[in-house]
Structure 1
Amino acid sequence: MFFVEEPIDTESQTAWLDVRTEEAGVRVVVPRLPGRRTPEQTNDTLRTLLDEFFAAEGIYDPVLWYYTPMSLDFTDHLKGAVTVYDCMDELSAFKGAPPRLIECERTLLAKADLVFTGGYSLWEAKRTLHANAHPFPSSVDVAHFGQARVEQPDPDDQAAIPHPRLGFYGVIDERFDIDLIGTIAEARPDLHFVLVGPVVKIDPETLPKNPNIHYLGPKVYDELPRYLAGWDVALLPFALNESTRFISPTKTPEYLAGGCPAVSTPITDVVRTYGDTGVVRIARTPDEFTAAIDAALDDAKDRDRLLATADGVLRDMSWDKTWNEMKEKIECAI
C-alpha cells in the first residue's frame, strides 16, 4: 500500500520522492519539489514522478483511493481496477478552499466506482450525486485511547494547570467556536480550558487570552492519551457554520474510549449518534454549555457507570470492522 502525501517545497533544484515505510508495511510517498513553481509546473512534475515510481514498483491496475479531488490535477490519467473517493469532509466549505474544488469533485464523482463518506450527514449530501455511496462514521482505536483510563503522570506542560480541566484536542480553525470558549472562560474563572492542537487559518491574536485558557500547541497521536487522562471533561466546541454542517468528529469516540465524559455543540452527527447516550451532553449557548459542563463533572464522579456506558456505546466500533466493510464493497466493485 502506498500513501501519497502533499508535496513539500525544498531549496533543491531537483524534484524527488521521499519514500519511507510505516507500520503494517504502508509506504508513505512524499514529493519534494523545488520552490517557486507554477501550479502547472507542479502538476507536471508530480505526474512524471509518480508515473516513474509506479512503473519502477510494478504497480498496474491499483485501487486508486482519493481523499481530495484536487489530486486529479496530476492523476487523472491513471487507470485503476477500482477508484474510491473517500470523502471525509465537505472540503469546499472550508476557509481557503481552492475555487476549482467543486468542479474537481464533480469530475472525481464521475470517475469513482465507490464513494465513502466520513459520516451520515455527508452521505445524505453525496448519495444523490453517486449511485454507489456508503457512510462510514468515525471509529476509534479503543486500546490506544483506553490508556487514558489508567492514572499516569501529567505531561510537563499540563501538570501545573488546576482542576477542573476541560480539554480539547484537534485543529483550532474556523470550525472552533472561539467566542463560546472565551465567554465561558470569562464567566467561570474556576474552570480551566486545555486546548491541544495547532492554530490554522485564523489569526492567533484573535484567540481569547483569559488566564484560565491554556494553549498547549500541537501534539503527536501517541501523546494524546496522556493529555486526555488528566482531563475532567472533554469538549467538542464546534461553531455551527457551513464548515461544520457535515462533520462527524473522530474525537467523540476517542474521548469516550479514554473514559472522559464529553460536552458538544449540536453538531448533527454527534447528536444523532451520541445525544441520548448520557455520556455526551449537547448544548448550544454559553449558558447551556456551562450547565452541561457542570453536569458532566457530576457524571465523572460515578466512574463505574461512566465507563460502563461508554463501553456500551463503543462496543461495535473498531477500525478493523470499518476496513473489513470497506474491503467487501471494493471487492464487489472489481
Structure 2
Amino acid sequence: MQAAPPTCTGGKVQPVLLCLSHLRWDFVFQRPQHLMTRAAQDHEVIFFEEPLEAPIPQPRLDFSMQPGGVLRAVPVLPHGLDEAASAAAQRALLDGLLAERAGRPLVAWFYTPMALAFADHLRPDVTIYDCMDELSAFRGAPPAMLAMEQRLLDRADQVFTGGRSLFEAKRDRHRRVHCFPSSIDTAHFGRARDALAEPAALAGIPHPRIGFFGVIDERMDLALVAAFAALRPEMHLIMLGPVVKIDPASLPQGPNLHWLGGRRYDELPDYLAHWDLGFMPFALNESTRFISPTKTPEFLAAGLPVISTPVVDVVRDYGEAGLVEIVESAAELAEQADALLARPRAPFLARVDQQLAKNSWDMTWARMAALLRVPEAAPVAAKAKGVAHV
C-alpha cells in the first residue's frame, strides 16, 4: 500500500509526527496508541515500527492506515541482514518516507533509544523521548540500551515519563523532564458497568471471577498466581493477554486457571463487565521497578475493585488513596479477595469516579502538545521549497 498524501487543514499541511516505536501497533493498545491517535487530529502521524524479515530481494515499507488516522509503516527486510546492514536499510527507507514530506515541520517522537541506530542523522524541529518503561531492565534488552538512551537524552528537547518512579529516575539527567502517568479512557472502560453481553470464552466459567489483562511476561509472578489459585479453588482466574519472552509451558495450570490469550482493546469492557475483581500479580524485580500500569485506572473505570502486589507507583498513586488493595503474598491476596467480594460497591465507586475525573488521555495529550512548540506548517503551495529533514 502506498503512503497517504499529506494532510491539509485550512490550506496548510499538517506537521509530521514520526513515532519510532519498539511496540507494534496491533500488539496491545496502550500508551503509544492512545497518544498517537490523539496527535493525529492535528499532525500527520507516522508510526514507524521495528522491522520484520521476509524472503524478499530488497527492503520495503508496508503501509496501513489505522483507525484514528495513524499511518503505520513497517520495514520489511530481506532475511539474514547483519546489524549494520539492517540499520542502513531502515535509514534508507526512512529517508525516502521523509523526502516525500520535505519542507514540513517534523517531530521525532522516540519510544526506544535503539531507533537512533537508523535515525540519529535526522534533524527534526522537535525531539521527544516518551519514556514509558525502563527498557534496559527488560529481559533480552540490548547491551547498548543504556548508552543509546544517554545519546537520546542528550538530543531530546523534552522528556516525558510514564510514571512517578521513572520521573524520579530521569529528572536529573535532562533539563526538561515531565511526569505523565498512565491515563484513562473512562468512557471506553466505563462501558463495563453496563449490562454487556457475556463473551463466549467466559461461558461456563463459574463466579467469582478474578481477572487480569495485559502482556504476560517476566513481570508476572507466576508462583503467586499458582498459590492463589490453589488457596481459593472456588475462585476462577481469567488471564487475558499474549505470552511473550517466557515459555508458555511455564504457566501454572489448574481447573480454576483460564489462560485465554490476547483480546482486542475494544473487546476488553465486555470481559471486565463479567468479572468480580481485578488483580495485578506483578513480580517485584528490575523489570517492574519503574512501571506505572495503565490497567490500574482501566480496572477502576470498569467498576472493579483491584488487588495488586506492591509496585511502587501503584502503591503511591492508588494504594495510599485506598483505591487499590496492596498484598505481598498469596494468603493476603486470598484474604483481600474474600473481603472485596463482600464489600458494598457504591461508596467505592464514588471515590473512584472522583479520582478518575482528574485525568484522561485527552488531558494528557493536551498537556504534551503544549510542550511541542512545533513551528507553523508552511502553506501547501510553498511546501515543495523546503528541504528534507535528513
CA contact (8 A) 2:277 2:304 kept: yes
Q: What's the secondary structure of 1:235's corresponding residue? A: strand
5 Å matches for 1:63-82?
Answer: 63-82=107-126
Does 1:240 pair with 2:284? yes
Give % identity: 51
CA contact (8 A) 1:6 1:30 kept: yes
How far does the alpha carbon of each residue in 1:73-118 deviate from its partner, in whole angstroms, 9 at most, with x for none?
Answer: 0000000111110000000000110111111001111111111000
5 Å matches for 1:30-41?
Answer: 30-41=74-85
Q: What's the secondary structure of 1:151's corresponding residue? A: coil
5 Å matches for 1:1-334?
Answer: 1-58=45-102, 60-299=104-343, 302-331=344-373
**Following the alignment from structure 1 to structure 2, what is the Cα–Cα distance between the partners of residues 164 and 4?**
42
CA contact (8 A) 1:277 1:313 kept: no
Instruction: Report the AA paired with residue 318 of structure 1.
Output: S
Higher mean C-alpha displacement, 17-26 vs 136-145: 17-26
Higher mean C-alpha displacement, 99-108 vs 154-163: 154-163
- Displacement of 1:59 after TM fit? 5.6
Instruction: Report the AA paired with residue 16 of structure 1.
Output: R
**Following the alignment from structure 1 to structure 2, what is the Cα–Cα distance between the partners of residues 214 and 25?**
35
Distance 1:205 1:23, change over 3 A: closer
**Following the alignment from structure 2 to structure 1, what is the Cα–Cα distance between the partners of residues 374 and 264?**
36
Question: Which has more helix, going by share of residues?
Answer: 1
Distance 1:332 1:10, change over 3 A: closer
**Following the alignment from structure 2 to structure 1, what is the Cα–Cα distance between the partners of residues 147 and 185?**
35
Instruction: Report the AA paired with residue 367 of structure 2.
Output: E
- Displacement of 1:271 after TM fit? 0.8
Instruction: Report the AA paired with residue 309 of structure 1.
Output: R
Instruction: Report the AA paired with residue 313 of structure 1.
Output: Q
CA contact (8 A) 2:218 2:246 kept: yes
Query: Scaled by the length of structure 1, what TM-score is found?
Result: 0.96
Q: What's the secondary structure of 1:31's corresponding residue? A: strand
**Following the alignment from structure 2 to structure 1, what is the Cα–Cα distance between the partners of residues 62 and 374?**
34
Q: Which has the higher relative contact order, 1 or 2, with Cα contacts under 8 A spaced 6 or more apart?
A: 2
- Displacement of 1:333 after TM fit? 10
Instruction: Report the AA paired with residue 259 of structure 2.
Output: Y
CA contact (8 A) 1:169 1:196 kept: yes
Structure 2 alignment gaps of length 5 or more: 1-44, 377-390
**Following the alignment from structure 2 to structure 1, what is the Cα–Cα distance between the partners of residues 309 and 148?**
32
Q: What's the secondary structure of 1:193's corresponding residue? A: strand
Q: Aligned-residue CA RMSD in angstroms?
A: 1.5
How far does the alpha carbon of each residue in 1:271-316 deviate from its partner, in whole angstroms, 9 at most, with x for none?
Answer: 11111333311111111111111122123xx232232122112011
CA contact (8 A) 2:125 2:374 kept: no
- Displacement of 1:263 after TM fit? 0.3
- Displacement of 1:269 after TM fit? 0.6
**Following the alignment from structure 1 to structure 2, what is the Cα–Cα distance between the partners of residues 213 and 4?**
37
Instruction: Report the AA paired with residue 222 of structure 2.
Output: I
**Following the alignment from structure 1 to structure 2, what is the Cα–Cα distance between the partners of residues 51 and 217?**
37
Instruction: Report the AA paired with residue 32 of structure 1.
Output: V
Instruction: Report the AA paired with residue 319 of structure 1.
Output: W
Q: What's the secondary structure of 1:329's corresponding residue? A: coil
How far does the alpha carbon of each residue in 1:145-178 deviate from its partner, in whole angstroms, 9 at most, with x for none?
Answer: 1111112222111121111000000111110010
**Following the alignment from structure 2 to structure 1, what is the Cα–Cα distance between the partners of residues 134 and 240?**
24
Query: Scaled by the length of structure 2, what TM-score is found?
Result: 0.82
**Following the alignment from structure 1 to structure 2, what is the Cα–Cα distance between the partners of residues 70 and 60?**
25
**Following the alignment from structure 2 to structure 1, what is the Cα–Cα distance between the partners of residues 96 and 231?**
60
Instruction: Report the AA paired with residue 323 of structure 1.
Output: W
Instruction: Report the AA paired with residue 232 of structure 2.
Output: R
CA contact (8 A) 2:60 2:76 kept: yes
- Displacement of 1:228 after TM fit? 0.8
Instruction: Report the AA paired with residue 231 of structure 1.
Output: W
Instruction: Report the AA paired with residue 306 of structure 1.
Output: F
Q: What's the secondary structure of 2:151's corresponding residue? A: helix
Structure 1 alignment gaps of length 5 or more: none
**Alignment length, in residue pairs?**
332
